[in-house]
């Protein structure tokens, strides 16, 4: 699958107050995620779509992230088709971590990207 028109952003340039949508599974999220991110696993996105549209009210740009960028690319493509301003975070949470962006874990332990 190739997304020629899919807008992407570098993990280092996502605004700290930007809307970050994490589409990874629960175990990945629990191990480490960006504080304040909205967690909607890709498998639940359609069922929980209202949570996203509420968070993205006022045409906020949605920065979609997964582990490396594959799942988030599919989700960003879907959101764009729904008329939502969405961009894929290039390199996913691995790039986020590599860029030194903060991570938190549900357990309070040292956060990491699973």
The catalytic site residues sit at 66
Q: Identify which of 44, 17, 27, 48 has the alpha carbon closest to the alpha carbon of residue 114.
A: 27
Burial of residue 83 (CB within 10 Å: 0-12, 13-18, 19+) is: exposed
Burial of residue 46 (CB within 10 Å: 0-12, 13-18, 19+) is: exposed
Could you tell me if 19 and 55 are in contact, meaning their C-beta atoms sit under 8 angstroms apart?
yes
């Amino acid at each position: 699958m190739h997304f020629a028109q899919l807008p992407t952003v570098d993990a280092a340039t996502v605004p700290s107050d930007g809307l970050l949508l994490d589409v990874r599974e629960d175990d990945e999220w629990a191990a480490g995620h960006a504080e304040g991110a909205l967690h909607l696993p890709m498998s639940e996105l359609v069922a929980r779509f209202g949570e996203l549209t509420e968070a993205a009210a006022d045409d906020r740009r949605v920065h979609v992230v997964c582990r490396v960028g594959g799942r988030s690319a599919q989700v960003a493509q879907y959101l764009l088709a729904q008329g939502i301003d969405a961009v894929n975070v290039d390199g996913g949470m691995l790039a986020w971590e590599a860029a030194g962006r903060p991570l938190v874990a549900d357990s309070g332990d040292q956060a990491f990207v699973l």
